[in-house]
Amino acid sequence: MILVEADAGGEWDSRVDWEDLAERAVLSAVACSSRAALNNSDLAIEISVKFTDDEEVKALNATYRGKDKATNVLSFPMVEPGLLDSIASADSGEVLLGDVVLAHGVCAREAAEKGVATETHAAHLVVHGTLHLLGYDHETSDADAESMEAVEREALAAIGIDDPYTVTEVET
């Protein structure tokens, strides 16, 4: 069973139920992934999602990735990908799969550039971050990137969000 803990503060719009958004995005990402069995595990599998500001993400990015800038989403896996299948078959206990951290300013700017609501883009970033916790990687090869994007599309469609990778041609 997947448990989602979400925390939103600061600049994140208090009218949005960020915990519900995080839970729907995480569960959909897991269900559409090659690790779907985790959703039915007797093990309590926790994923933490933090909606924070650019400064905190910048500090985390500098500390853990050596990049002194804010980024839209960071993932911090706590379980090696090779152990994920054995976790799904465990009959009891708890495990923290990892943390997903989103930067408000970057997310809001990207959403505006894409012409979508901030919460729509945030859901995409939560799906993306969750897939990293599940061992997906888009930096190793084009094939891996395409595979990850396909799962993102499916997971987002399952929660009613259009394909974020569709390029809309503007007539001139």
> Looking at the whole model, is its pTM more than 0.85?
yes
Is residue 134 included in any domain, yes or no?
yes
How many domains, the chain? 1
What order of strands is seen across the sheet that includes strand 94-103? 2-8, 44-52, 94-103, 73-77
Question: pLDDT-based confidence at 167, cuts 50/70/90?
Answer: low
Work out the pLDDT band at 172, boundaries 50, 70, 90.
Answer: very low
Quote the pLDDT of residue 170. Answer: 46
Q: Looking at the domain assignment, is residue 165 inside a domain?
A: no
Which residues have C-beta within 8 Å of that of residue 167, sequence separation ≥ 6? Answer: none
171 falls within a domain = no
52, part of any domain: yes
- Establish if 49 belongs to a structural domain: yes
Q: Is 132 annotated as a binding residue?
A: yes
Per-residue 3-state assignment (H helix, E strand, C coil) for the chain? CEEEEEEECCCCCCCCCHHHHHHHHHHHHHHHCCCHHHHHCCCEEEEEEEEECHHHHHHHHHHHHCCCCCCCEEEEECCCHHHHHHHHCCCCCEEEEEEEEEEHHHHHHHHHHHCCCHHHHHHHHHHHHHHHHCCCCCCCCHHHHHHHHHHHHHHHHHCCCCCCCCCCCCCC
- Among the ranges given (19-28, 70-79, 105-114, 136-145), the one the predictor scored with the smallest mean pLDDT: 136-145
What pLDDT score was predicted for residue 41?
85
Lowest average pLDDT, out of 119-123, 156-160, 166-170, goes to: 166-170
Model confidence pLDDT, tens digit, residues 105-125: 999 999 999 999 999 999 999
Residue of 58, 45, 29 lying closest to 136 (CA atoms) = 29
Give residue 54's domain range: 2-158
What is the rounded average pLDDT for all residues in the chain?
91
pLDDT at 90: 79
Q: What is the CATH number of the domain that holds 154?
A: 3.40.390.30
Q: How confident is the model at residue 36 (pLDDT cuts 50, 70, 90)?
A: very high
Position 170 in a domain: no
**Residue 154's pLDDT band (boundaries 50, 70, 90)?**
very high
For residue 79, being part of any structural domain is answered with yes
- Is 138 annotated in a binding site? The answer is yes
Q: Which of 28-32, 72-76, 134-138, 163-167 has the lowest mean pLDDT?
A: 163-167
**Strand 73-77 relative to strand 94-103, pairing:** antiparallel
